[in-house]
Structures are given as structure tokens and as C-alpha cells.
Chains A and B, each alone.
Chain A
Amino acid sequence: MNAYLRLLSLLLPVQQRYTWLSEWNAELWHVRSESGWVPALHLLRGAVADARELRALTEKESPAGWSLTLPWLQSRIWTQSWIQPLAFPLAMFLIMACAAVYVPGSRDVLLSRSYNAPSSIVLLKDAEHPTISYATYAEWTRRRQSLFDEFAFYVVQKRYVNGEHLRVATASSNLIRMLGLGGSAADGMYLSYAAAKRLGYPSQVRLGAKMMRVQGMLPRTTLQLWDDPEAIVLADRLPAGMHGRVLGAVAPGAPDINWGFSVTQSRLPALRIHVTPLEERVLMPGRAFLFACVILLFALAGTRPLARGNGLRMPMRLRWRPAIFVGVQVLLLLASAYLGSLAIAMSMTFSRPEDATGVQAFAAFLLLLPTIRLTLRSNRHRCPCCLRKLGHPARVGQPSAAFLNWYGTELLCAQGHGMAHIPDMPTTWFSEPRWMPLDSSWAVLFSQ
């Protein structure tokens, strides 16, 4: 409570802050001790209005003389009609951007290049054992295949790279190409984003006794291979007794193998293979967010209708300004929701990044639905000229006389730009709100 009051006191001139704080702290202390926390919280709701009133009174008393510590607050820009509605989405954007940069996983996603996994690549796992032997893999590559175009094999071991203990995958030479991360196989090492950062972005590394050239960086945060390799070394041949992981590139037109399949072996029992599409283990924040946006479109229409009066009927020349204004707010909210949902997803699923997609879509939806609705609602009745909220509502007519006369509410722009007529009981001849611009002859009424 005290922190909130201190924050509000920044709205006031320096010389009045201490008195204002003492006054509110005293009131809160008394209310809290006499009536409890709930009335104290109710009381606190008035602090904003009081601070604004005091500021306005001080401004009135000495228009040129009073000053605030925060120069941007005291500037006249703050009083411009379009700044305050933009303040909420802008503040939200800044908070979410800070959160996205602060959470390590989301920061890596934002900084590293995005990776779209080829939809044909699947991870293959024996139902009995987590790994498949290199000999079995070699036999598969020799056989004529109807389901797969090719296979890749890798095995992850902890090894020292430039003195750092990393999970290094020794892989068949086609792995990088199959993953869509590079062209032809090149001798050398591929480092993950985090490992490259840890080693100081080297061009050459020492793996055991051998010096190797660093061929490229892998998008580790978005590519989740099993055993989470931090570096990949390509090799033409591996020892036959090695057990590792196998990836397959599903042939075009192959039958659906998402439920797995059996592989017969000579003189050995058949292998039951489980299949996991690589796409499921790759975080694609853009797709998750897009999915949330599509659901949002349905939800916006499906939740309580935005009521009559959404968008005034007005001449075309006046329409672009409110539309751009709402568009900027919505864009800021979309960007905030993207960053915020990414930060939430990565902080909640840090140990299992493959689960982040669902969490991100859900978080984005939860962030977007209330904020977009709030923005659309708050922009319903705005003057198209100065973008101020229309006020001074006046009820016109009677519901019983709606047959012969119109019945509804008139809203007025305080600057005298015009009036909005909003029918409370739509008729065939007056069903949508209308905007009536006032010409300069009315200016005398709005001189104050």
C-alpha cells in the first residue's frame, strides 16, 4: 500500500508530496486499525483521483510555476488526448519485453534464428529399449525402404570441448542435411547457441586430442533432439556396437505411421518402433501464437457481443484516424502478448521445452482476450477528430414513442467537433450509431 502511494505521489509537485503522503498514510492507518483491510483497500481506490485533483488545483494556482520531478509526466504531451489510451498497451509491451528478455529460454528464442522443422522427419524409438544399435540402423539403410527415404543416426556422450564438459552427438554424416540446417555434410563440429556462447563463439575447438573447425550454430532452444545434444560431430562410420537415436525421413506418399510400426529382423524377434514427429519437439512460437490469434477471433465474436455502438457511421474522410488509433493499440497488444506468452511458456516448461507450444498458445489467448476486448470497448465512443472520449450523455425520446421518434443517447465531444447519436432501441430507419459533425458556427458553445 505504501509503495502504491509513493508511486502515486510522483504525480504531485515535489513540495506537496510529503504532506499528501502523510495525509493518506494517516487515513489508511486509522481505517486499517478501526475497520480492517477491506475498507482500507476501498479507501485506497480514491488516492488516484485525489492525487490528480491536487495536481490540477496546483496547476490552476500556478500554471507556469509548478514542476514535477519526472519531466515526461509534467510535459504537456501527457495531456494530449491520444497519449493516455496508448499508455496501457505501451506499458504492457515494455513489461512483457522485459519479462521476455529476463527469462533465459525466451531470450534465447528471441535472439536465435527461428527453425522450421521439416514435417517429414520423425524420431524413431524401440518400444523395448530407448536406443537402437548402429548395426540395426546400418541394416535399415541397406534395405530397400517403402516408408522412409533415408535414416540418420546419432549417439550423445559427455565429452570435453575446449575444456568444457558438453553433450556431444556423434552423428551420421547426413544428420544436418536431414534436419534442414545445412547443405552437404562438412567435416567439423556444429555447436548449439548456448554452447557457442559458453565457449566464446570459437572458430576452432579441441575435441579430445583433435582440433575441429566449427561449421555452424544449431538453434538449440528450438530444436529438441532426444538427449539434448549441445554439439554435433559428423562421422561417416560409427562402431557397430554403439546404441543411439535414429531419425527417419518419411517418404512422400507413405502410409500414416504416427502410431508406430513393426520391423522384422532375420533370426531376431520383430522390433516395435514408436514414432515421434520432430515437429512435436520443436518450439515454433510463431505458430503457437498464430493459433491463439485464430481462437481469439472466434472467442471475440463468441463472448458477450461488443454491444451496439461499435464504430460510428461517419464520412470516409473521418474514419481512418480512429482506425489507425485502434490498430496501433491492437498491434502493441499483440506484440506484448507474443513476448509475454513466450516468457510464461519458457519459464513454466524450462525442463521440457517441447511442452512450451501448448502453454504459449494458452498464455497468449489468456493475455489477448481481455486486453483486446478492453481496448475495443474503450475505443467505441471516441471523437474521430481529436480522439477524445465522447461524454455528456443525454437521453433523447421515450421508448414508447420509438415508432414516430427516435429513442437513444446523444454523446458530445467536449471540444465541439460533433455529436454521436446512439439508438437504444434500433429501428429500421435508425439502427446504427451516427456521427454528426458540428461546424464552426457551434464553436461559441465550446469556447470554455
Chain B
Amino acid sequence: MAETGKLSHTAALILHAIAVGYRYGFSIMESTGLPSGTVYPALRRLEAEGLIRSQWEAEAIAEKEQRPPRKYYKTTAAARPVLEASRSRYPLLAALTAPAEEKERV
């Protein structure tokens, strides 16, 4: 797990975006303004560090709506202290990412 003080600003921003309800890569890109080449590798790193968890959407739902299933991300319990520390370290974090709409929360 990442030490609370060592999360970079970009990683903290992405973690914060997931925490406020952005659940998949492209919505995180749009909310943070970061490019795909930054967001997707960062998601892998955050997952490897145990701060977020990915979950494939149920096949039945995707099939019903005739689209491919999507991978969603969620923060873990371990992310909470890291997020707190990041928010105090980067006070503008909340201002940079607006909370997601209900639809986005799934």
C-alpha cells in the first residue's frame, strides 16, 4: 500500500475523482482533464497498491443494453486515510474535481 505522504498530485487527483463517483477511465479523464496516457497507467498503479478495486460490469446488464461490459473502479477502505492525507497535502484537490452526477455513480 502507498504511504500516505507519497501519493503524487496526479495520483491523488485520480483517486479523489474515483472517490467522488467517477467510475470508469474516460469519465475520470474528462473530470480531471488528464490525458488517457496518464489516467489508465495510474489506475493500474493505484489498483496494484490496493487503493482502488476494479470490477467488471455484470454481463447480463451489458447484454440487455446491447453493449460490451465495462470495467468500473471503486476506492477501497485502505484509500480513506490516503485520501485524507492527500486532501490536506493538496488543498485544491476538491476544487479541481466536481462530484459526479448520480447517473455516473451507477
| Bind each other | yes
**Contact in complex: B44, A22 (CB < 8 Å):** no
**Contact in complex: A54, B36 (CB < 8 Å):** no
Give the complex CA separation of A166 and B30 in angstroms.
68
Give the complex CA separation of A53 and B39 in angstroms.
11
Give the complex CA separation of A54 and B40 in angstroms.
10
Of B21-29, B83-91, B97-105, the segment with at least 4 beta carbons within 8 Å of chain A is B21-29
Main secondary structure of the interface of A (DSSP, over half): helix
Please tell me if B38 contacts chain A, counting CB pairs below 8 Å: yes
**Contact in complex: A53, B41 (CB < 8 Å):** yes
Shortest Cβ distance from residue B27 to the other chain A in the assembled complex, whole angstroms: 10
Give the complex CA separation of A31 and B67 in angstroms.
12
**Contact in complex: A27, B25 (CB < 8 Å):** yes
Please tell me if B33 contacts chain A, counting CB pairs below 8 Å: no
**Contact in complex: A30, B70 (CB < 8 Å):** yes
Give the complex CA separation of A44 and B35 in angstroms.
10
**Contact in complex: A54, B44 (CB < 8 Å):** yes
Chain A residues with Cβ below 8 Å from B37 are: 45-46, 48-50
* B26 interface neighbour in A30, A45, A47, A52, Cβ under 8 Å: A30
**Contact in complex: A50, B44 (CB < 8 Å):** yes
**Contact in complex: B40, A57 (CB < 8 Å):** no
Count residues of chain A with CB under 8 A from any CB of chain B: 23
**Chain B proximity mask over A351-378: 1 for CB below 8 Å, otherwise 0:** 0000000000000000000000000000
Q: Which of B38, B40, B48 has the most CB of A within 10 A?
A: B40
* A26 interface neighbour in B29, B36, B71, Cβ under 8 Å: B71
* A57 interface neighbour in B44, B67, B69, Cβ under 8 Å: B44
Interface positions, chain A 7-62, Cβ under 8 Å from B, are 22-23, 25-27, 29-31, 33, 39, 42-50, 52-54, 57
Chain A residues with Cβ below 8 Å from B5 are: none
Query: Whose C-beta in chain B lies nearest to the C-beta of A22?
Result: B68
Count residues of chain B with CB under 8 A from any CB of chain A: 19
Contact flag A49-B38 (CB < 8 Å), given A31-B26, A57-B45, A57-B48: yes
Chain B residues with Cβ below 8 Å from A44 are: 36
Chain A residues with Cβ below 8 Å from B48 are: 57
Chain A residues with Cβ below 8 Å from B36 are: 42-47, 49-50
* A53 interface neighbour in B35, B45, B70, Cβ under 8 Å: B45
Give the complex CA separation of A30 and B30 in angstroms.
14
Shortest Cβ distance from residue B6 to the other chain A in the assembled complex, whole angstroms: 14
* B41 interface neighbour in A25, A43, A49, Cβ under 8 Å: A49
**Contact in complex: B39, A46 (CB < 8 Å):** yes
Chain B residues with Cβ below 8 Å from A46 are: 35-41
**Contact in complex: B71, A23 (CB < 8 Å):** yes
Contact flag A49-B40 (CB < 8 Å), given A27-B25, A27-B26, A57-B45: yes
List the 6 closest pairs (A to B, CB-CB), nearest first.
A46-B36, A53-B41, A50-B40, A49-B37, A46-B37, A26-B68
Q: Which residues of B contact A (CB under 8 A)?
A: 24-26, 29, 35-41, 44-45, 48, 67-71
User: What are 30 A-to-B residue pairs whose CB atoms are below 8 Å?
Assistant: A22-B69, A23-B71, A26-B71, A27-B25, A27-B26, A27-B70, A27-B71, A30-B24, A30-B26, A30-B67, A30-B70, A31-B26, A39-B26, A42-B35, A42-B36, A43-B25, A43-B26, A43-B29, A45-B35, A46-B39, A46-B40, A46-B41, A49-B41, A50-B36, A50-B37, A50-B41, A53-B40, A53-B41, A57-B44, A57-B48
